[in-house]
Amino acid sequence: MKNQRMNKIRQYYDGISKGYDELYGEEQLKKVKFIVEEFKEVLEQKKKILDAGAGTGILNSFLKNKDLISLDISPKMLEKNKNDKKIIGSITKMPFKNKEFDLVFCITVLQDLNENEIEKAIKEIKRTSKNAIISFLKKSSKKETIIKFLKKFAKIEKIVELEKDIVLFATL
Ligand SMILES: C[S@@+](CC[C@H](N)C(=O)[O-])C[C@H]1O[C@@H](n2cnc3c(N)ncnc32)[C@H](O)[C@@H]1O
């Protein structure tokens, strides 16, 4: 059952991978530009960064001087991603060592997960990194669940509201 759900998500994103940038690229780029500018000082101190649910790699061009690893469940989204360090995998069980990263980005990903998966994902982010920048859609029905687990497992340092999104910076 669990894997069936994950397979569906993978299939969905594999299916839209070709048109993703055309459909959502502009909106995601605007969001990512804002996030990178807003957290410029935080970013300056971070070297090894994970983009969890990286998709086509909209974040890449902003992190050229960093050691960036892109993880995604969808092989076809990752095919479009030009970062040279890419790993196919789920954010709920990541193939990384404890505290391997200085920072994890997780942009517009968690709302695809159910409650149990959101808890696992946030625990995995905490296990693998020291800090996180997490964004999700304001209108998402998972908003309360995401905030509940972030409060349980992390310290939310800053919350920024955009037109359609909420962005959180957390210490883990
Ligand atoms: C809306 S897209 C966002 C992609 C990228 N972060 C961006 O801002 O353009 C959501 C991405 O999360 C990935 N994703 C969904 N569930 C995932 C999971 N359990 N583990 C890893 N990636 C996942 C999808 O394959 C997709 O690439």
Residue nearest to atom 11 of ligand 1 (CA): 53
103-141 confidence digits (pLDDT tens)? 999 999 999 999 999 999 999 999 999 999 999 999 999
Sheet holding 67-72, edge to edge: 86-88, 67-72, 48-52, 101-107, 129-137, 165-171, 155-161
Cα(156)–Cα(146) distance, integer angstroms: 12
Note the pLDDT of residue 1.
Answer: 52
Domain count, the chain: 1
Confidence of residue 145 (pLDDT cuts 50, 70, 90): very high
- At 105, which CATH number? 3.40.50.150
Mean pLDDT of the chain: 96
Cβ 92 vs Cβ 132: under 8 Å: no
Note the pLDDT of residue 2.
Answer: 60
Domain coverage including residue 52 = 2-171
Residue nearest to atom 25 of ligand 1 (CA): 74
Query: Looking at the whole model, is its pTM more than 0.85?
Result: yes
Which one of 112, 136, 164 would you pick to mutate in the ligand 1 pocket, going by the greatest count of ligand atoms within 8 A of its CB? 112
CA of 48 to the centre of ligand 1 (A): 20
